Structure 1
Amino acid sequence: MPTIGFHASHEQVEPRALLEAVALAQEIGFTEAMGSDHFAPWSEEQGESAFSFAWMGAALERARGMRIGQVHAPGQRIHPAISAQAIATLEAMNPGRYWVALGSGENLNERITGEPWPAKPVRNARLRECVHVIRALLAGEEVDHHGLVRVDRARLWTRPATPPPLYATAVSPETAAWAAEWADGLVTVNQPGDALRRVSDAYRDAGGRGPVHVQVHVAWAETEERALQEAFEQWRTNVFPPPLCWDLDSPRAFALAAAHVRPDDVRDSVVVSDSPAAIVDAIGGMLDQGFDGAYVHHVPVEQRAFLERVAPSILAAFSDSARVPA
């Protein structure tokens, strides 16, 4: 059976409410979840951005029946030795229940250090160095490293018995193929047409190991008109392909770029429907493009109605763990 997880969006939901959503997701039957790692939201309407590592510790404690991972960009905003320390601590406290997907980041979040935003090839090279540093620290080595990142005699004193998997994030076939050199799995995001299959094929054709998962954006409401309205309000700044989405530097810049986005434009990025069955079909179509699982992100801020009224249909279609909440 494919993995079906719940996505916790730190950019949209304040952290206490997000903990409640994860707890409810577990009650309904989800055994997997993932979170994002941002310093700023994509838009002022989203309006949140809690510190993901702090939230992750609370979520793993609150939902002890779930395996929970996160997307994270080491190297600029967070030094890779600090990333490794956080990763090691979460796994040591929750053996076998944590994973992290590493990416090269977005200017929106990373510029806060005041350092220049590097070109994509440099960001990839920096990420590769960060992966080397993190793996070495998780293995118990003392690390000196002098390159695009610098590390001076770092050692982790608290480590898990077994390091958690280090997945990669990718939205293009080129990045997916490059990530196959070092990643334990891949996480990507839903795209229109056959773009998804090209990403999964590129990773596996390049020798990529481990699971390949897709994050699926969904907007559901009592009417399709309402679902589209909420998707547009929350996600119109998230419709831009690379490199624009990597390089814009603030929620204000994303708002300016989205000035001419129309509500129907959001449908390329978000499954919009008032029908649970249609949402199930859309997720199934994505899984059929070569994916081992999907993490479902309900784009409207309100999570409870979606979890209670739509998520059980998704779980019933792809797993045997759906439950009706008490």
Structure 2
Amino acid sequence: MTVVGFHASHEQIPPRELLAAVQEAERVGFDAAMCSDHLAPWGLRQGESGFAWAWLGAALQATSLPFGVVTAPVQRLHPAVAAQAIATLAQMHPGRFWAALGSGEAMNEHVTGDAWPPKDVRDARLHEAADVIRRLLDGEEVTVDGHVRVHRARVWSRPAEAPPLFAAAVGPETAGEVAAWADGLITVAQEPDALRRVIAAYRDAGGRGPIAVQVHLSWAEDRDTALAIAHDQWRNGLVTAPESWDLEQPEDFDARTADASPEEVATVVQVSADPSEHLDRLAALVGLGFDRIYLHHVGTEQQGFLETFGEHVLPGLKAVSR
């Protein structure tokens, strides 16, 4: 059965309200939840960005859902600190936590004042950081002097079993590279052929574990409203990699998409007022080979989406077999 998760968007919703939303997501039938570890929102209209690690402690305690976080443990967050955070959450909530490691975006990382390196260097330091984190979770004392520098680090409070370390990847090249160390893969919805290439690159390189996809969607009682929500809140989705990796400020994303039309935004956000249309499009993703689907309603108000999808989308989507 497909795992259907709720994406908790720190960039759009204040932490207290987001905690209530994820509790409601569990009530209406979502199987799991995830969030991203960001310092800044993607645009000024979003206007939020709570600290994911603090929020995760509360969310794991307030629900019985398994949670994941997408994080970049390479610059703003040192890999030894990331390992300690991962270990603490996994020790407190056994079997309910995973982390997906990515190479990051300048928007979240530039604040350290360190140079934002080219993609090949970012990928190399991610590989090193993943190795450091895994070794720390296994109880080793770690010293490394490479792209990542670590001096005699050790994580003292650890879970009995180390949690899964997924990799975050958008394109097939990265998906193939991370297969060597990842326990699973998470990507974002895009054209079906592009998703097939990502899945194939990961599996062909020996990638193990589940493959998950995050889907940005907009629902309202009429399509015009759903389209307006998407245009107001998620036009940043039109800024794709590699450009999205290198912009530094929310204002940069706003400037880059200032002239975007609502229909253009609908090419990167799944927009519909019809739950059955959403179900069909999501079921098609399961058919591509995804084990887990995390739904991100891009509106700031979640209640109507949660109630509607809980009744009309989740039962059918969970029943779809790969």
Range of TM-score over shorter length: over 0.9
- Residue in 2 that maps onto 1:324: none
RMSD value over aligned CA atoms?
0.9
Match of 2:255 in 1: 256
Superposed displacement of residue 193, structure 1: 4.1
Deviation at 1:313, TM superposition (A): 2.0
Aligned to 2:58: 58
Q: Distance in 2 between matches of 1:290 and 1:67?
A: 21
Are positions 1:10 and 2:10 aligned together? yes
The CA distance in 1 between the partners of 2:92 and 2:292, in whole Å, is: 25
Whether 1:163 aligns to 2:171 is no
Deviations 1:161-219 (A, max 9, x none): 00100000011011111111110000000012421111111111111000001101110
TM-score normalized with structure 1 length:
0.96
Determine the structure 1 residue equivalent to 2:246: 247
TM-score between the two structures when normalised by the length of structure 2: 0.97
% of aligned pairs identical? Answer: 54
1:192 and 1:268 in contact (8 A); partners too? no
**Deviations for 1:83-106, whole angstroms, at most 9, x for unmatched residues?**
000000000000000000000000
Letter in 2 for 1:116: A
In the alignment, which residue of structure 2 is the partner of 1:305? 304
Aligned residue for 1:117? 116
Are the counterparts in 2 of residues 201 and 290 from structure 1 also a CA contact under 8 Å? Answer: no
Asked if 1 retains the 8 angstrom alpha-carbon contact of 2:34 and 2:67, the reply is yes
Q: Name the count of aligned residue pairs.
A: 319
Task: Give 5+ residue unaligned stretches, structure 1.
Answer: 321-326
1:29 and 2:23 equivalent?
no
SS of 2:43 mapped into structure 1? coil
Give the letter for the 1:7 counterpart: H
5+ long unaligned stretches in structure 2: none
1:181 and 1:208 in contact (8 A); partners too: yes
Does the CA contact (< 8 Å) of 2:143 and 2:153 recur in 1?
yes
Name the aligned partner's letter for residue 232 of structure 2.
E
**Matches of 1:2 and 1:286 in 2, distance apart?**
11
Contact persistence 2:239–2:253 (CA under 8 A): no
Which residue identity is paired with 1:211? P
Q: Give, in whole Å, the separation in 2 of the partners of 1:164 and 1:312.
A: 32
| Matched-pair contact (CA < 8 Å) for 1:214–1:293 | yes
Counterpart for residue 91 of structure 1: 90
- Distance, in Å, in 2 between the alignment partners of 1:129 and 1:256 is 35
8 Å CA contact 2:233–2:299 kept in 1: the answer is yes
CA offset digits 1:249-305 (Å, max 9, x no partner): 100111111122111111221110000000001101112112112000001110011
What code does the residue aligned with 1:268 have? T
Q: What amino acid sits opposite 1:279 in the alignment? A: H
Q: Secondary structure at the match of 1:268?
A: coil
